């Protein structure tokens, strides 16, 4: 499929897209729900702090951060979309020249400011990516466990192309719609005689198979440079006893590479062309 160019009359909307008029609509409700979920996840009093968030996130963050730091060119200017508590930015800070982190959650931004300790090279903003604007272009844009939350992937990818320098890279970490966990869930429904589909995670708008995400990236002017499959089963369904063992989490992460089409997640590096 051919590249979808950005019409000149859309440049201003790509620099700034105001979602405020949607507050009273279903879209506004979805954004509100997303913000509440992320605020709760990053709150110290969150129920999410037990189970997945408490035991899995530290290990997975390190694995993703290692992938990112090995991919970035030295002294890059980086935009981290959905920067969360700033862990990734902290991990890569020695190799970058500057960075901007944005997140929908104010709770996450507060934590990121504490973690980053006032590093003057790193700017943090509470913002939707759709609302974010910048006068500079970036060497790399990170969307780590973020792409599945966007309601308008077409708009997002057009904006990424605009914000990236020539040959800049987009690094995406996103769940696989056809992951083994979903296959098991579907089979369980068939056995029970339940014809309903599998619901998405509450904060996800859409999930993609590897073919689908490669296709959409290609259509909007990105060349796939690297794909790494990881995790063969969703870790959140494991017992806390296992999740508290970093060696087990790393083993499960690596197992996804053996059966990539059934892996739970993909890390993808795509270059602007």
**pLDDT for the residue 9:** 33
**pLDDT for the residue 82:** 95
Beta pairing class for 96-103 and 76-81? parallel
Cβ–Cβ < 8 Å for 143, 173: yes
d(CA 270, CA 23): 33
In this predicted structure, which of 170-179, 181-190, 197-206 has the lowest mean pLDDT? 197-206
Ramachandran angles phi, psi of 143, nearest 5°: -130, 85
CATH number of 19-272: 3.40.50.150
**pLDDT for the residue 141:** 98
HEC per residue, the chain: CCCCCCCHHHHHHHHCCCCHHHCCCHHHHHHHHHHHHHHHHCCCCCHHHCCHHHHHHHHHHHHHHHHHHHHCCCCEEEEEECCCCCHHHHHHHHHEEEEEEEECCHHHHHHHHHHHCCCCCEEEEECCCCCCCCCCCEEEEEEECCHHHCCCHHHHHHHHHHHEEEEEEEEEEEEECCCHHHHHHHHHHHHHCCCCCCCCCCCCCCCECHHHHHHHHHHCCEEEEEEEEECCCCHHHCCHHHHCCHHHHHHHHHHCCCCHHHCCEEEEEEEEC
Mean pLDDT of 120-145: 95
Task: Please give the C-alpha separations between residue 56 and each of 48, 163, 201, 219, 225, in angstroms, as whole numbers.
Answer: 11, 32, 17, 34, 28
Cα 219 to chain centroid distance, Å, stands at: 20
Mean pLDDT of 182-192: 89
The first and second tokens of residue 173, run together, are 């970490």
In this predicted structure, which of 45-59, 172-186, 247-261 has the lowest mean pLDDT? 45-59
pLDDT digits (tens, 9 = 90+) for 20-53: 434 444 567 878 888 887 888 777 644 544 445 5
Burial 87-104 (b: 16+ CB within 10 A, else e): bbbbbbbeebebbbbbbb
The first and second tokens of residue 44, run together, are 């110290």
134's CB contacts (< 8 A; 6+ apart) are 15, 79, 100, 163
Give the residue from 143, 270, 260 showing the smallest Cα distance to 215: 270
Radius of gyration in angstroms for the set of CA atoms belonging to the chain, rounded to a whole number: 18
pLDDT digits (tens, 9 = 90+) for 50-96: 445 556 677 788 889 999 999 999 999 999 999 999 999 999 999 99
Per-domain residue ranges for the chain? 19-272
Ramachandran angles phi, psi of 227, nearest 5°: -130, 130
Burial 176-200 (b: 16+ CB within 10 A, else e): bbbbbbbeeeeeeeeeeeeeeeeee
Mean predicted lDDT score pLDDT of the chain: 84
Mean pLDDT of 152-171: 96
């Amino acid at each position: 499929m051919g590249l979808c160019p950005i019409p000149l009359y859309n440049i201003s909307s790509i620099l700034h897209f105001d979602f405020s008029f949607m507050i009273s609509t279903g879209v506004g409700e979805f954004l509100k729900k997303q913000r509440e979920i992320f605020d709760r996840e990053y709150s110290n009093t969150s129920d999410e702090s037990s189970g997945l968030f408490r035991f899995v996130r530290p290990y997975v963050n390190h694995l993703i951060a290692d992938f990112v730091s090995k991919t970035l060119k030295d002294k890059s200017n980086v935009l981290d979309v959905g920067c969360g508590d700033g862990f990734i930015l902290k991990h890569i800070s020695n190799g970058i020249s500057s960075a901007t982190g944005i997140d929908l959650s104010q709770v996450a931004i507060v934590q990121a400011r504490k973690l980053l300790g006032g590093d003057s090279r790193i700017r943090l903003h509470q913002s939707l990516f759709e609302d974010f604007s910048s006068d500079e272009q970036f060497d790399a844009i990170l969307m780590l466990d973020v792409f599945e939350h966007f309601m308008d992937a077409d708009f997002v990818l057009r904006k990424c192309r605009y914000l990236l320098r020539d040959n800049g890279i987009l690094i995406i970490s996103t769940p696989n719609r056809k992951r083994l966990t979903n296959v098991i869930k579907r089979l369980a429904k068939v056995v029970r005689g339940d014809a309903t589909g599998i619901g998405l995670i509450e904060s996800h708008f859409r999930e993609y198979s590897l073919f689908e995400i490669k296709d959409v990236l290609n259509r909007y002017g990105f060349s796939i440079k690297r794909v790494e499959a990881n995790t063969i089963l969703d870790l959140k369904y494991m017992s806390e006893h296992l999740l508290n063992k970093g060696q087990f989490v790393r083993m499960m992460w690596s197992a996804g590479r053996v059966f990539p089409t059934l892996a739970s997640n993909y890390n993808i590096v795509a270059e602007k062309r």
